[in-house]
Amino acid sequence: MRRGNTYLWLIAVGAVVLGLGIGASFLLRSYAPEEYALESLTSSETVVFSQKRDLLVFSPAIKTSVGLIFYPGGLVDYRAYAPLLKELAENGIESFLVKMPLDLAVISPNRAMDIIKDNPEIKTWIMAGHSLGGSMAARFASKNSGTIGGLILLASYPARGDSLVNSKIRVLSIYGTEDSVLNSDALNDTKVLLPPDTLFLELEGGNHAQFGWYGPQKGDGIATMSREKQQELTLNAILSLIQNLQE
């Protein structure tokens, strides 16, 4: 091959690779956190905030033995869930918000294990997640049922191979009536994979995106409940489940 043709070939290949890279970046563009979420990334009188490269930690000022690990929804910047995690910490729960590779929990569903190993003082662990993050939290819980005491599913459900029906894990499933992103048929079909005492909470007027603070989501329904109210009801339900775990 002549040198000139070689250069043309390399340029063409480079252009294709660049085009694929730009296309992938566009397709995998994550939902950005809103300003309110970013404002939550601070300490307060009752919460100590710390940040590592791939983890946000909200610690109660008074140490606790309960920890919650949260997996974000698919293609949602993990910081969008900071307000909820900070509220949990204000109620005495050590809360860990995990950054996933490419904002996809399916790439690294076992991230919780390192957090658990690094925090041996925590005796009760709860997995939680939104949408795809919830499914991956359920996967981790199903494979580590002796370690996990509770599971919170926000607009989510376990995959077929991740049955929890025979586990002793306390499960809470929360979803909104106006959620057009969640596959409602799959939600109902996979209830048989959850323990018989699973609590299901349907939020009248809630949708998919309002479990976080990242604005509207493509394909979602229009909520008739305010995001503040959806967040409040979600927080209260989680706190109630954790209280029951400690009794």
pLDDT score of 25: 35
Q: What is the pLDDT, as a whole number, of residue 53?
A: 85
Q: How many CB atoms lie within 10 A of CB 85?
A: 25
Give per-10-residue mean pLDDT for the chain (247 aa).
47 36 51 98 97 95 93 98 98 98 97 97 97 98 97 98 97 98 97 98 98 97 98 98 88
- Length reported for the chain: 247
pLDDT at 235: 98
45-61 in b/e form (b: 16+ CB < 10 A) is: eebebeeeeebbbbbbe
Angle, nearest 10°, between helix axes 111-118 and 132-143? 60
Phi, psi of 218 (to 5 degrees): -60, 130
H or E element, residue 247: none
Interatomic CA distance for residues 23 and 20, integer angstroms: 5
pLDDT score for 186: 98
Strand-pairing partners, residue 59, are 48
Q: For strand 124-130 and strand 66-71, is the pairing parallel, antiparallel, or unpaired?
A: parallel
Q: What is the pLDDT of residue 21?
A: 34
Question: Strand pairing partners for 56?
Answer: 51, 97
Predicted TM-score of the model (pTM): 0.89
Tokens, residue 17: 């690779």
Reference 50, options 102, 109, 115; nearest CA is 115
CATH number of 31-246: 3.40.50.1820
pLDDT of residue 2: 52
Q: DSSP character for 31?
A: B
Q: What is the pLDDT of residue 18?
A: 32
